[in-house]
Structure 1
């Protein structure tokens, strides 16, 4: 770490020590954020604010207040019930943990192209997304850190674009909410984004969006050929490859005959462990407060200016495609 970044870290640490001393609720939720990796956590927020300690301090405090106001610390004790509803969400919000990189980073697979988000309200999908974030940060990453005897605070994401269509336009609002929550409250948690199975529509959209991204974000995105198997095998074993990367041209699917292979499936070990963990936490909390049916409502943040511009550009590009298709060009 350079002198400038170390100075920024020291300055941010001093600012946080002061605010946490004065506000105990923020101190409690900050413990769930850093999980013992305080310096690494502060560094993430500094990176997100270009090493400006004052801006990073405001970002962390806003994040902690959002967590307290929305009771994020309790979200892992709020199961999505009944089970059929949860299964519907898993079938339409395709995400799962396929394994770990050789460096010990969790590998999350995301079916961008085939996720439909049409089985529940926006609030349920946001609840599900935050629960996976919190389970990653409070259970998966601390466990990986313990196993490798060093702080592991980020993950790898493999984004499958199979099936990406113009109908993606209908999902932009929800995806903007989810990505804004991540940008503001879970910054710099992804080490690298690998894009696989990219159709022409993605390539065209990426061309116009890429220049709008900050340099640190652009460096994280790697667009791989085909299913990306050969490139991904350089950083992970075959057993950790997402199911849609295991055979060239195999593509992706919502379902697989073997739930152990399809990391999106509610029957995959990751989702079984996650759901069982949430149910167990709910039983612990039930003595204090009975579990209610219904989604866990979270305040949706306004997207950052950079995000708003990207969304506007993306919508414009997709509209052009739509018009072009309708005209038969």
Structure 2
């Protein structure tokens, strides 16, 4: 074999070896590339799953809402002074720094700031000892359905001003049977839990629906059939416990109360009880005979009033009006605004009249990320003011659980008298 042929053969061998090596390198690079792609895909999926679990999906399509908030100038000055005194004493946790809450405690103590401070601090101490701040998460009232059979009560609709309507059928209450399925302590915890739940949902929802500041309730007590069977020492203890909680820790939440289907026996008891009630409380109570139920329609629209009280609502699909929990707090779009942690609140105050001691404010609630211009928020607006009427997260409002402070006091007095 010639030298040239030998050289050619060597070149072919080298070329084939090079091809094999290149092919192997290519396969190696392909495998590495595929592995990198798989790893990247897995990583992206894992990261996405974490984001999905760690973040709730936010629907920004809910339109902004403006809410009218009218304040008395004298009251606002008192609230400011009260707030500054609480801050100076380190007695104003951010979650309770809310205009209407402060105003309620001032009203409960006739605007005596020193007495209001003491009442406020007692409230904070009670909340700490009772575990109120975490009661929504820590307490479960499994016996509620059974309890409603022997103590029919609940929220149902709103009045013509947009306030939530709370109803109790006291004549159908059976305290002895009630205590077979729960205890006084557990019911009081439920009472407090419902107060806390409603403070975060019902008043804010009603305010959004009515587009005006809602901070009180309309209550109806149906006393048809009320008699000695409805009262016992246990019942008196339960009512007294609720009365203490309501008056000391959730004051001034009742706008008006109707006692309906009142017979002559109840009127006699009430006449005696009135001697022990505060005149402000008496002014909020109307006692109606069975034939006077139509007066409720002056305050509450027929569609919002149960048929057993003279209205047209039955809530048959929900098992009855007192089991339906009917109200703006069940509207998904309204509740999106109530629960938006990202809500931006802009207060635009305007004086109603130079002669009137009131300021009309419009509070604009909109989720961050909307196209609405929120740059008009002024210094001192609700977006910056911790004592704003709706608070930084539009929180804080009404009591659900059975009787408000004035209501409880009245019932407690009737229990004692009877």
TM-score (norm 1): 0.71
Maintained 8 Å contact 1:154/1:191: yes
Secondary structure at 1:264 match in 2: helix
> Any residues of structure 2 matched to 1:31-180 within 5 Å, and which?
38-78=98-138, 80=140, 82=142, 85-117=143-175, 118=178, 119-170=181-232, 171-180=235-244
The match for 1:240 among 304, 321, 335 is 304
- Return 188-197 or 123-132, whichever deviates more: 123-132
Unaligned runs of 5+ in 1: 32-37, 249-255, 278-303, 319-329
> Any residues of structure 2 matched to 1:276-295 within 5 Å, and which?
none
**Counterpart for residue 264 of structure 1:** 322
Residues 316 and 73 of structure 1: CA distance in aligned 2, closer, same or farther (over 3 Å): closer
Query: How many residues were matched structurally?
Result: 265
Maintained 8 Å contact 1:8/1:52: no
Report deviation, 1:2.
6.8
Maintained 8 Å contact 1:109/1:242: no
Report deviation, 1:71.
1.6
**Counterpart for residue 277 of structure 2:** 213
Matches of 1:141 and 1:194 in 2, distance apart? 20
Matches of 2:141 and 2:249 in 1, distance apart? 26
Residues 316 and 127 of structure 1: CA distance in aligned 2, closer, same or farther (over 3 Å): closer
Matches of 1:134 and 1:218 in 2, distance apart? 26
1:177-208: CA deviations, max 9, x gaps?
11111011110111011110113332111011
Matches of 2:105 and 2:259 in 1, distance apart? 25
Residues 5 and 269 of structure 1: CA distance in aligned 2, closer, same or farther (over 3 Å): closer
Report deviation, 1:236.
1.6
Maintained 8 Å contact 2:260/2:288: yes
1:251-274: CA deviations, max 9, x gaps?
xxxxx8936373333xx2459x89
Report deviation, 1:116.
1.9
Maintained 8 Å contact 1:89/1:125: no
Report deviation, 1:108.
0.6
Higher strand share: 2
Matches of 1:158 and 1:316 in 2, distance apart? 21
**Counterpart for residue 35 of structure 1:** none
TM-score (norm 2): 0.57
If asked which structure has higher relative contact order (CA below 8 Å, sep 6+), I would say 2
**Counterpart for residue 296 of structure 1:** none
Maintained 8 Å contact 1:30/1:64: no
Matches of 2:315 and 2:164 in 1, distance apart? 24
Matches of 1:246 and 1:58 in 2, distance apart? 44
Report deviation, 1:81.
5.2
Secondary structure at 1:218 match in 2: helix
Matches of 1:308 and 1:88 in 2, distance apart? 26
Maintained 8 Å contact 1:113/1:163: yes
**Counterpart for residue 258 of structure 2:** 194
Maintained 8 Å contact 1:164/1:201: no
Unaligned runs of 5+ in 2: 1-70, 336-404
**Counterpart for residue 30 of structure 1:** 96
Report deviation, 1:51.
1.6
Residues 317 and 144 of structure 1: CA distance in aligned 2, closer, same or farther (over 3 Å): closer
Report deviation, 1:137.
1.1
Maintained 8 Å contact 1:29/1:64: no
Report deviation, 1:77.
2.1
Maintained 8 Å contact 2:258/2:286: yes
Secondary structure at 1:187 match in 2: coil
